[in-house]
Amino acid sequence: MQDLLPEGMLRFRRIEDIFRTCCRNWGYQEVRTPTLEYLYLFTATGTLTPSMLSKVYSFLDWDGWSGERVVLRPDGTIPVARLYADNLSGQELARLFYVTNIFAFEGTGKENRERWQCGAEFFGGAKFAPDVEIILLAEEVIRRLGISNVGLQLSHAGLVKALLKELKLSPGEEAKMTNRILEGNWQALTKAKSTNPEIERLIAALLGLKGKSSSFLHNVKASFPKASQDFKSSLEDLINVTTLLDKLGCSYKIDIAEIHGFEYYTGICFQFLAAGEKIGGGGRYDNLVPLMNGEDIPACGFALYVDPIMKLLPLEKEKKGESEILVKGKELTPEIVETCFTVAESLRDAGHPAELDFTGREESNYRWVVLVSGKEPSPFVLTDCIQRRRRDAASMAEILKVVSEG
């Protein structure tokens, strides 16, 4: 658990503001889902992996005698898919975005158990164009945040699942292998004995080579003409996305093994890396809405991870707060304090942020300081902190005039 201090919140809001602006510019609409969701939303195959489920905060619901359990939202995408299935399933197309916190238990108590995500989801639409849209949207947000040296890695869940099928494992072994891969243990795949040497050659090639353009995938397609239909159609899908990305000048690396934790993904998946850390990821999850008892609608999306991005955000010289003008009383008599409040209110009404000071300390981070002395004929002293000049002011109107003229 962590506190966000004013400096941290400035970074947080900057990320959120840029993300919101970009999403709105692309036609996405903001949604918010509840912090508490039912556990069963996350237990079915194709939602969260068992190892992720072992880290959810779950507890009995208020009417816990019925045995119903709720969780602190452990993932951003699944609740939004549920929101779509529950409320928007009549819409053929929905572009939604959210800024949310997610919760995951970890045994040591040292890591952060609450993390923030900025995510966008695309429901409906034909294949591969939405995939490219969400990648480009994510990239635009990252670019506008000013983070440099960001790598984009692509993989494809359909390719991995097709490879697994080729191994012809028993259902139990296949489930075990899937879990291992989801946890990032790709070596398990190379160790699996296959009766078909062609499959072993394919696995070795895919795990060993890293592609940098769609040409790589064309080469794979040409080298393995005997691959299964499932494999070929997933490959074709990935070729469509990468070809478009090539044409739009978006660079990436294809690395089948670099992506894990993709249980709900069915098609392309991707992640963004900067300074060795994952700062975002996403993919296509066509089965998730049907699993939530919704219609059979394709969907894809991404999330950016706010916590690592905050550390990478270029540090700007942030102004101390928004208060441009400090209003202080010479003495703390009720009359002077009252005048201070009136002056500050008039300034704010005229559009100038004004902060009150009752401590008498010297402050220099302001554009103007208004000292209220209460003594006629000029009850105010106005200090221009930049020009370092002081002048008396007889009335509120005079203060406003000087301040407005800058």
Inter-residue contact 251 to 136 (CB < 8 Å): no
Residue 59 vs 341, nearer CB to other proteins: 59
* CA 385 – CA 387 distance, rounded (Å): 6
Place of tokens 């409040």: 341
229 contacts: CB under 8 Å, gap ≥ 6? none
Least distance in Å: CB of 300 to other proteins?
Answer: 23
Find the shortest distance in angstroms from Cβ 106 to other proteins. Answer: 8
Q: Which is nearer to other proteins, 14 or 73 (CB)?
A: 73
Smaller CB separation from other proteins, 48 or 279: 48
Largest CA distance in the chain: 100
**What are the residues binding other proteins (CB under 8 A)?**
40, 43-45, 50, 53-54, 62-69, 107-108, 171, 175
Of 42 and 97, the one with the shorter C-beta distance to other proteins is: 42
CB of residue 112 vs other proteins: minimum separation in angstroms?
16
The total of other beta-carbon atoms located within 10 Å of residue 395's CB is 12
Q: Find the shortest distance in angstroms from Cβ 12 to other proteins.
A: 29
**With respect to other proteins, which residue has the nearer C-beta, 296 or 362?**
296
| Closer residue to other proteins, CB minimum distance, 27 or 171 | 171
> 89-103: b or e for each residue (b if 16 or more CB lie within 10 Å)?
beeeebbbbbbbebb
Which residue in the block uniquely carries the two structure tokens 């238990």? Answer: 105
For the CB of residue 69, give the shortest distance to other proteins in the complex, in Å.
Answer: 7
Stretch (H or E) spanning 201: helix 197-208
The neighbour count for residue 382, using CB atoms within 10 Å, is 19
Cis amide leading into 377 (omega within 30): yes
